[in-house]
Structure 1
């Protein structure tokens, strides 16, 4: 056996040990854990019942995701429009009620807010707002937020803080 054969065998043995049965099981366990996380995310978003996306349900899941994307895009564009042209003011959240509707796993809330603009009397607005669960505590009753108000329709508002 020559020098290069010995080197080749040494690398082959080291590679076999590094990628042997134990490492293969770790990779398989990691892949399974990743799949379970993906299934959980799809279930939390409301796209599946927790089962993996398959060829049988891929078009249905894709259609639901696309519809949510379109709603979220339009919602974001409207908020950005109001922020860009809106008159600055402040608001106090009077109530926040979960409507039971979800989009991409995030709940929609019906908010009642008291809006105050400079030089005007405070007034109340009812608005539908998507609030991600991790930010819900920021929108508790009594919390104060900066707001932008559409000059053409004072009932259209967007939080800026």
Structure 2
């Protein structure tokens, strides 16, 4: 029992004052809901961007020059940062850094030197989607 009391004291000492008690629990819940809403808004914006690029994007190809792990995952799939050399309409390739969540199964296809199809926003050549 003494160990449990010590653990409770340690947990309380580690909990910020604003998250203690009933009101702290509500604040913590409010913060969690705000984070979830932000994430949903971001996902909705990404979905709208993808729809726009599928309808209006220029078809191009890109060569992956570098891949970096961001440390983030969505449904156990890593979000990576890709350095790309984009070739659009036979013009000289230009560099773009693109962040995207990739299926763990598809990771072997996203290695430096690989070429992937992309759709490029005609009004912003740095805005693109892979696929």
TM range (shorter): 0.5 to 0.7
Give the RMSD, CA atoms, in angstroms.
2.6
Q: Which protein shows a greater Rg?
A: 1
Classify the secondary structure of the residue corresponding to 2:92. Answer: coil
Residue-pair matches, total: 105
Residue 72 and residue 134 in structure 1: after superposition, are their counterparts in 2 closer, same or farther (change >3 A)? Answer: farther
Asked whether the equivalents of residues 68 and 104 of structure 1 are also in contact (C-alpha less than 8 Å), the reply is no
Q: Distance in 1 between the 2:105 and 2:93 partners?
A: 29
Classify the secondary structure of the residue corresponding to 2:82. Answer: strand
Q: Distance in 2 between the 1:112 and 1:94 partners?
A: 5
User: Which structure 1 residue ranges, 5 or more long, are not aligned?
Assistant: 1-55
Q: Distance in 1 between the 2:81 and 2:87 partners?
A: 19
Classify the secondary structure of the residue corresponding to 1:119. Answer: coil
Among 70, 76, 89, which residue is 1:99 paired with? 70
Q: How does 1:1-161 map to 2 (within 5 A)?
A: 63=33, 67-160=38-131
Instruction: Give the alignment's TM-score, normalised by structure 1.
Output: 0.55
Residue 110 and residue 131 in structure 1: after superposition, are their counterparts in 2 closer, same or farther (change >3 A)? Answer: same
Q: Which structure is richer in relative contact order (CA contacts within 8 A, separation 6 or more)?
A: 2
Asked whether the equivalents of residues 147 and 157 of structure 1 are also in contact (C-alpha less than 8 Å), the reply is yes
Instruction: Give the alignment's TM-score, normalised by structure 2.
Output: 0.66
Residues 58-100 of structure 1, C-alpha deviations (whole Å, 9 max, x = no match): x68x846655443323222212212211111111111110111
Q: Distance in 2 between the 1:72 and 1:132 partners?
A: 16
Asked whether the equivalents of residues 68 and 103 of structure 1 are also in contact (C-alpha less than 8 Å), the reply is no
Q: Distance in 1 between the 2:73 and 2:41 partners?
A: 14
Q: Distance in 1 between the 2:37 and 2:106 partners?
A: 24
Q: Distance in 2 between the 1:81 and 1:66 partners?
A: 22
